[in-house]
Each structure stands twice: as C-alpha cells, then as structure tokens.
Amino acid sequence: MSHFALPTAVFEAPHIASFGLNHQTANMAVREQLAFSPQQAAEILAQMRHDFPQTEIALLATCNRTEWYLCSSEHLPNIGQWLTSQGYLQTEQVQSNTFYYQDRHAVRHLYRVACGLDSLILGEPQILGQLKSAYRLAKAQGTLGSALERLFQQSFAVAKQIRHSTAIGENPVSVAYAGVKLTHQFFDDHPQRCALIIGAGETGQLVARYLRDLNLKRIIIANRSLNNAQTLAEEVGGYAISLAQISEHLHEADMIFGAAQMDELILNNAHLQQSLKKRRHAFQVLVDLSLPRIFDNDIEQLENAFLYGIDDLEQIIDVNRENRQKAARQAEVMINLHSDDFIGWLNSKPQQLLIRQIRQQADVYRQELLGEAYRRLALGEDPALIIEQMSYKLTNKLLHSPSAMIHAIPPNHKEWLAIMADTFDKERNNH
C-alpha cells in the first residue's frame, strides 16, 4: 500500500531575485561585455537551464541593461559567480558594476523596468516590448515556470495600467527619439539634409520614422540584409544599400545613426577622414545607438566629426521631464501596491502546492480502487459488497498519513494536537 508523503521543500516559499547591470551601475565599456544578441541570449538560457535545473530564469538584454530574473524554492544561484566562471566579467567588475535585488525589491525592480521608470530616458515605451521579447525567449527555452510566468504577466498588466492612468505615457520618448532630437542642436534645416542609418531593426526603424517626420531630403538605410533595408526604405521614402556600400555613400550624410547589433566596428577614424575630405570638411554628426558600439571612439579626435553615444543622451535631451517625474511618483505608489500583492501570492505557493499534491495523491488512490472495483465487477462479484469494501479501503488510504502524523506528535505539543483536532472537527461540522 502506497501512502502520501511530501518533500520538505514544498513548505518553503520560493524566492525571487533580479541580478545584472544597467546604465545606472555600469559604463558602456562594461555593458558591452554583456551585450547579447537574441541568439546569444538563447544559448545562455540553455546553458543555465543545464547548470541550474531547479531555477526559473529569464534574461533581459537591451542596449542599456542586461538583467536576469530568477525564482527558486531552493538556493538561488550566484549569477555573478557564474558570469566570471564563463569569462564574461572579472570578479571586481561583478562587485562594482552589478546590482542584486531579492523578493519584494526584485519584483518592484521588474515593474519599474516595465513602466520605463528605470530607463535612461524616463518613461520610454520601447522597454516594454523588449521585456515581452525576453519573456517569450525564456518560455521558448523552457526556463519559465509558474512564478516567473505570473510575475512577467503582471508586469505587463502593471505597465499598461500605469500608462493609462498616469501621464507617464504622454509625449513618449525613446533612445531613438533622443538621438534624432540631438541633431537639432546642429541643424535647423532638416529638409535640406541627408541621413544615413546603419541597421534596420527596431531602433533603426524608429530613427527612420522620426527622420521621415522631419521631411529629410534623403534617408539612406544600410543593413546586413538588403531586403530588410529595402523594406524600411520603401516605408520612409529612403534609399537602401548594403553594409559594403557604406563607404561609397558616407560622405553624403550630414547625420549618421548607428542602430545595428554587430560584433565589430563599422566606422572608424579613417572612414570619417575620407568622408570629411570629400565633403570639404563640412561637419558630420554621428549618433551611435548600438551596443556593442559600432562607431570607433577615435572618431572624436576629428575636428569636424561630432560623435555621441547612448550615455550622452540623458545629458543632452530633456523632454517634458517635469511632467513625467510627477507621473513617475504616482506610478511608484501603484508599483508598491502591486509588488505587495505578488509577494503575497508567492508566499501562498507552498500551501497551493501542498493542496494540489494532496488532491493529486487522493485521485491516484481513487483511480487504483476504481480499477480494482471494475475488475471485480467483471468477475460477477456482488456490487454492494464491492462498494462497501472499496469505501473502507479509500478511507484507510486517505487517513493513514494524517493518523501516523498524529501518533508522531509528542504529547507536550498540544498546539499541534489542537490544530489537528480543530481541522477534523470543522470537516465534521461542514458535513
């Protein structure tokens, strides 16, 4: 006869943690070391699934942040240590450039990220789409469990609620918007200007649309996939080229935007020297929105080339900051309340799991005895006798473990005896 037994771990509430680095904790040079493409992020999740099989894991990798979200009823893995063992970061870099939040603080951090409250530009909406991509990636890699599933879904709902009920969603901005806005410091005649955008992904598309709205004379889209460049060029009335053709058209551009995810530099000092010479040293403005960066820092040495990166944008642009900060304070109150709700649910998971396992085991007993009853009925035995015997067997199976538990309680532990007595007394009264 099998009897019901539960592992001790089910009585422990899971712990949530977030770990990583972002524009607030690390400079671009360090962030570049953890700049992962979607394919790389998928490979990392697959490796972590192997290394930490008892942990739910999601990985958010954007131009401004690389963050892990974890959940486990057991010991949470040390991601910083794992990163050093894999050669991504040095120990001192982990100590000085990363953050770690646990439980309510981790939940609150994710909600703030989803709402754009933790972004380089307060309230930018692009991060929510990136967070949804991270959720889908973790789900596809099999590293998402019930806790992170609920946490991410609730973060999406919180972000939606806050954008509808506060002014954080008004006058939306993004890194792409900030980069385009920056060019107004140099040009007041955009309809007479030409722009080159390197990259046709999400950021490149945003840049192209913002430039189209400024009625630029010409927009050139350069991309690894010429088909993708042509698709975007058709949308914004631009001209598509391959990456290999950049040097032929570089001198035409008054403003150059880097928006590609590449592992190598696309433009360096020599490229710009040639370009400026062809332009008779008419200046060019370069805005590198990529991470890793695709424009070499040496370009800054040139007198007529003005190079800006992601970290420069916050100091350069300030769009309706006062209104967004007021909305952010309202959003923080809502985030705190939702964080408490989630932690309350998380702490109740052991009880939920216990109840589920008790019911599942009870159903196993029921199926075993039902099968026995069917076999005996097929042999022609008395149905009334079978029903009576099966009812006794089911009662004995269900009460064996509670009875053994009561016998094991020392006499001086009266509070446990009172709890058990009260439990069965309520059962009797309810029926």
Positive/negative CA dihedral, 119, 125, 126, 128: positive
> Would the annotation count 410 as a binding residue?
no
Does the pLDDT of residue 359 top 90, yes or no? Answer: no
Band (412; pLDDT cuts 50, 70, 90): confident
Mean pLDDT to the nearest integer, 282-311: 95
Query: Per-residue pLDDT tens for 38-69?
Result: 999 999 999 999 999 999 999 999 988 999 99
63 assigned to a ligand binding site: yes
* Interval 206-247: pLDDT, tens: 999 999 999 999 999 999 999 999 999 999 999 999 999 999
Pairing between β-strand 218-223 and β-strand 99-102 as defined by DSSP bridges = unpaired
More confident residue, 274 or 361: 274
Is residue 230 a known part of a binding site? no
Average pLDDT over residues 256-261: 95
Q: Which residue has the higher pLDDT, 399 or 115?
A: 115
Find the mean pLDDT for residues 189-193.
Answer: 96
Q: Is 297 annotated as a binding residue?
A: no
pLDDT digits (tens, 9 = 90+) for 111-164: 999 999 998 878 888 899 999 999 999 999 999 999 999 999 999 999 999 988
Q: Which residues are catalytic?
A: 63
In the chain, the domains with their CATH numbers are: 8-171+323-347 (3.30.460.30), 175-313 (3.40.50.720)
Report the pLDDT value the prediction gives residue 6, as an integer from 0 to 100.
46
Mean pLDDT for the stretch of residues 75-103: 96
126 belongs to an annotated ligand binding site: yes
